[in-house]
Each structure stands twice: as structure tokens, then as C-alpha cells.
Amino acid sequence: MDHTTRNTLVAELTALLRKGYAHASLEEACANLPLPLVNQPVPQVPYTIWQLAEHLRIAQWDILEFSRNPDYASPEWPEGYWPSADPVDEATWQATLASLTRDREAFIALLQDPSLDLLASFPHGTGQSLLREAMLIADHNSYHMGQLILVRRLLGAWE
């Protein structure tokens, strides 16, 4: 892949991971949420807003670690990817949001590293590449961001 093509692809992936194209960004989806709503269950919905955000954090961290550490072992599915329904405090909520942003930026730094081949399969995987993992983060985050916004709508906290 030539330098210009790689830079264009990385710029598009970066924009997708930070802002999305057809969905709200993480920052928009989680903005101005009072703590009671973060922990508020909704009938017939299996997750609170915090549980969805924490699931996003765990999954994104898992993908980041898999992408940069050949010795990394993923959590057990599904219990390792979903937090309990116990209410969290403001510090825990803010830590989840900060980790989501920090880990996203760490993954983007991998994408921007010109020494890494976006298309090469990881030696420690089963055919995964950095490009595939970037698309996986974007796809997974988009799916659950929609759920998070739906819960906000059901709680009357989204226009």
C-alpha cells in the first residue's frame, strides 16, 4: 500500500473511531447524563447506560490489547465482558468514559504508526489484522452506541 493510500485510510478510520459517520460519537452519546440516569434500569432492557458504556470499554480494551500484545489473553465470554448491574458512583462513571477515550486514542496511535502494516495478519491471531480490528471496534461501538441512545430515549434524556 502506498503512503498516500495508507494515510487516507488511516484518516478515515480515525474519523470513524472518533466521530462515527452515521451515529453519535461516544462523547455525544454520554454527554450531560446525571448519575441517577446512568444507573437507572429500564423495563425490558437488560442493561443500564453504565453497563453498556463499561461493556464498550472492556471490549475496546480487549481489542487494543490483542492488537499490541501477542501474549494477551482475552477475558472469558460473556462474563468477562459485561459488568454487574450494581450502581456506580460518579468517579467510576467518569473513569469508564476516560478509559474509553484513552484506549481509543491508543488504538488510533497504532493505526498511525507507519511501521505497522494495516493489512498484515497478526502472528498471534487467526487472520486478524490492524485494519480488521479497527473495523471491529467501529462496528461494535456503533451497535452498542445505538443501544445506549435508545436507553437514553426511554429515560427521556435524548432528543
- At 21 the pLDDT is 81
> Quick check: 118 pLDDT over 90?
yes
Predicted TM-score (pTM) of the model is: 0.96
pLDDT at 97 over 90: yes
Where does the pLDDT of residue 142 fall: very low under 50, low under 70, confident under 90, or very high at 90 and above? very high
Average pLDDT over residues 8-37: 93
Higher-confidence position of 52 and 159: 52
The CATH architecture that domain 3-154 belongs to is: Up-down Bundle (1.20)
Return the pLDDT at 20: 79
SS3 29: helix
Q: What pLDDT, on a 0 to 100 scale, did the predictor assign at position 61? A: 98
Distance CA 26, CA 18 (A): 8
Strands (DSSP E) contained in the chain are none
Contact 7, 119 (CB under 8 A): no
Alpha-carbon dihedral sign for residues 121, 125, 130, 136: positive
User: According to the model, what pLDDT value does residue 159 have?
Assistant: 84
**What is the average per-residue pLDDT within 85-100?**
97
Rounded mean pLDDT of the chain? Answer: 96
Q: Where are the domains of the chain?
A: 3-154
C-alpha torsion sign, points 133, 54, 65, 78:
negative
Q: Is the confidence at residue 38, as pLDDT, over 90?
A: yes
